[in-house]
Amino acid sequence: MPGRSLRYGLITLAILAVLSFYLPQGPSQSAQAASDADYSSMRLLTEVMEQIQKRYVEKKTPNELLTEAVKGMVSSLDPHSDYMTPEEYKELQIETKGTFSGVGIVITSKDGILTVVSPIEGTPAYKAGVEAGDRIMKIDGKLTKGMTLMDAVKSIRGPKGSKVVLTILREGANNLQDITVVRDMIPIESVRVYLLEDGYGLIRLANFQENTTDELIKGLTELQNQKVPLKGLIIDLRTNPGGLLTEAVNVADQFLDSGLIVSTKGRTRDQEMVFKATPHMTANNYPIIVLVNQGSASASEILAGALQDHHRAMILGTQTFGKGSVQTILPLEDKGALKLTTARYYTPSGRSIQAKGITPDLVVPFKPPAPSTKAAKKSQDLREKDLQGAIPAEEEKAPAKAEKAEPAKPDDSTQTKPEQTQGKAKTDKLHYPQDRLDNDNQMLRALDLLKAWQIFSAREQINQGKVAGAAK
């Protein structure tokens, strides 16, 4: 596994690589013809640039025109490919450290309109009421139609304490709505741990960043060291937009002791990678339920797919986003970088995630506490397949058998409002707020399933004992 390889989901997920060129020893006749065609196309580009410089109403420098031309070329490929200027590339590198100044939303482009994939829990945007599916029509009064994602990110970000006004259009609403958000540092807490009840734990994974695995191991160990042994675990991946591929693999490795976790396939051999579990697990052998929704994307889909294919967890919730493509970051000579879609992700059984997502074992729609928002919540689902220019899903193939399948075990995860305090060593602080649990039908359903699992497991052991006794 490459030590520095990174995978970013949605806007900020990718792997770090080096751009290289292959030059053939001698051009063939067909290669020469292709070169002539390429030269003709380049002449068209320079001719257009010359006319703009001479006749356009405002002065434009060659560098400005070339940058926009490259951005347009790359962004036309799919929603996740992009050219990053040196400044934008620096911002991307800062984000992977888990801290930046902004409002805390993951955005994409749908039909040329900026759309919120998910607000990051605990951030200013989340607290201000920004929701998944919101269309950002204006940023500080400036129309966003046709605005690139990188330009939108730069407009939304700013110094801590400053304000930005997002004008959004929410499905089901007749009017535009202005949401004022006060920017702040976004130290994204990747992992939070709780006790729902004695013996039943909850791990909330908000995203996958550099320290996610270490935090998960620490939190999981704390849950397993309680006086009452852990009988079941819920992993909440709802509204988790993804993150680093290596962290998703390492997290899955804490629950699997062998077998394939994820593979990637692209046009070139170097994009074909296989990630397998190691024999050393952190988790004990208890049932797990993973909660997902339409905001679960990329790395979170990799984790859910791996646990589902190995029958290590039950997936509960709604269909995930379906972001199953790999973006490779290719550093360029101008100190900028090219973020290019180079491969697809595949689950252990050979399923492609792209434009399909992960289908829950048990579909349980989230029911908002306020009935008046129910219709709006239902209509705001946004997934990879809805994005303009998205890579289509592959034809369905007979799934390959996973390398190892363990007995099916229920699992759960939950979607909740952002936690304000993280679980610490003291048991009282580990307990999940009862009012939040009562307002989360998906988590309640998962908890009930875990309890039922314990009841049926106990009865099975009793029945097996009776059969063994009768045999004697």
Which residues are known catalytic residues? 298, 309, 323
Q: Are 171 and 379 in contact (CB under 8 A)?
A: yes
Q: How far apart are CA 217 and CA 251, in angstroms?
A: 8
447, containing H or E segment: helix 441-471
Alpha-carbon distances, residue 195 vs 62, 204, 227, 282 (angstroms): 59, 11, 12, 18
**Contacting residues for 352 by C-beta, under 8 A, at least 6 apart:** 324, 344, 345, 346, 393, 394
* ∠ Cα 142 146 148 (to 5°): 90
Q: Comparing C-alpha atoms, which of 310, 295, 158 is closest to residue 240?
A: 295
314 neighbors 408 (Cβ within 8 angstroms): yes
Residue 428 is which amino acid?
Answer: D
Give 214-222 contacts, CB < 8 A, sequence gap 24+: 215/190, 215/191, 216/191, 216/251, 216/254, 216/282, 217/254, 217/282, 219/191, 219/192, 219/193, 219/423, 220/193, 220/254, 220/282, 220/283, 221/282, 222/193, 222/423, 222/425, 222/430
Q: What angle do CA 310, 312, 416 make, to 5 degrees?
A: 125
Indicate the residue type of 326: V
Distance, first Cα to last Cα, the chain? 52
- Regarding beta strands 135-139 and 163-169, do their DSSP bridges make them parallel or antiparallel, or are they unpaired? antiparallel
Say if residues 82 and 13 touch (Cβ distance below 8 Å). no
Report the distance separating Cα 337 and Cα 345, nearest Å: 22
